[in-house]
Chains A and B, each alone.
Chain A
Amino acid sequence: MNEFVMALGWVGIYGPMALGAIGSVIGCALAGQAAIGAMIETESGHGRYVGISAMPSSQVIYGIVVMFTLNRAVTPEAAAGMFGIGLLCGLALMFSAIYQGRSCAAAINAAKAKPEIFGLSLAPAAIVEGFAVFAFVFALVLSADLPGVK
């Protein structure tokens, strides 16, 4: 039983990074496809489309920071907490990256048709980013209370 709990602890350590990376991969790919489509249609502003499509990459960075914060001696006392924080934070980061990718794709499509709404069209993606930051910050706060800091 202890071995299983310890394994969960390791999942908790690597989870935020891996899930954040999966989310960022999907999110950036979705927004990137939109950027490519917009580049076919428009004559200028290509750089900003590519810039928007990179927005969902922040989640993997948050995931890496959480991973290092949780990285400590895996003990039966700490493993369950590490698993809970790591996995749930990772899931939050993953879904936020995917849906931020969709928001970015919609923003690129809208900004291509109406360049004057470029800034405002990014608001939904920024709001999604805000939720990812919540998940990230509170994972850091809670991990400070786990036993066995290195």
Chain B
Amino acid sequence: MSRDSYITLITSLPYAGELFSVSQTPISRIQLEARLSFLTPEDATQLQAIEGLLWWSSHSHETSDAEIAVETKRLLAELKNEWLRQLIRQRMEFRTLVAALRRRRRGASAPDLNADWGFGRWLGVIYRNWSEPGFSLERVFPWVLEANRLVREEDHLGLERLLLGEQWRALDQQGEGHYFDFEAVVAYVLKWGIMDRWSSYHGEGAVRRFENVLDDAVGEYAQMFA
């Protein structure tokens, strides 16, 4: 697909807008899939592989860290586009850091350097600075101290907001200079995934569901405590 062939596809996608100001994605997944049918089979396969690796929903609970690390290396070896490779590397390093924060919160010790628990350049730094609040990576990841605080306080929603916001910002940065090309399509689809995830969090719905579950669980015993 020539570079100019992406123009129709990109202009057919609605403006992504600002992450936290939207209550739903600007386009449904079905419509997005229909628009993505403009892609060549090769581009569609690449996009599918990238989505498959970077979206948690595409991994089952049984998928181990080691398997994801192997899959990442395989995809990086397969991709020729340096922008895409860089995108994957950065996202996996981001995930590795968040995983380290969560592991430490659970009381785990520094993971073995030989174990395939994460990915990227910072595994050694994280290992050596396990006791530091931000693993001495504040300069590379300025958000790490804030994330560490949110992990410690178990502010899950705040942490999710911070992480999704950082991923969104990183995609904005990486997408600079890419307007009508495959990179712009990938950035849009990944942003759509972030929006989809954020818009699926529904506070009132969660409370309602909790109450329903509680009512079902208590059931006939409810009268006993009335």
Contacts and interface: CB of A to CB of B under 8 A. Distances in A.
Interface residues of B, number: 14
A106 B4 contact: no
Contacts of B15: 112-114
Interface stretch (A1-9, A32-40, A133-141): A32-40
A41 B7 contact: no
Contacts of B12: 36-38, 40-41
B4 A108 contact: no
Contacts of B11: 33-38, 41, 105, 108-109, 112
B151 interface: no
Contacts of B14: 41, 113
A114 B15 CA distance: 9
A41 B31 CA distance: 10
B74 to A, nearest CB: 34
A109 B178 CA distance: 13
Interface string A2-39: 00000000000000000000000000011001111110
A33 B4 contact: yes
A150 B13 CA distance: 54
A46 to B, nearest CB: 12
Interface in B167-204: 179-180
Contacts of A40: 8, 12, 35
Residue from A35, A36, A41, A114 whose CB has the most chain B CB atoms within 10 Å: A41
Given A112-B15, A114-B15, A37 B8 contact: yes
Interface string A105-122: 110110011100000000
A106 B179 contact: yes
A3 B23 CA distance: 72
Nearest to A109: B11
Interface string B1-43: 0001101111111110000000000000000000100000000
Contacts of B180: 34, 102, 105
B124 to A, nearest CB: 43
B8 A36 contact: yes
A37 B4 contact: no
Interface in B78-116: none
Contacts of A33: 4-5, 7-8, 11
Contacts of B9: 37
Among all A-B residue pairs, the 5 with the closest Cβ atoms:
A37-B11, A113-B15, A37-B12, A37-B8, A33-B7
Interface of B: 4-5, 7-15, 35, 179-180
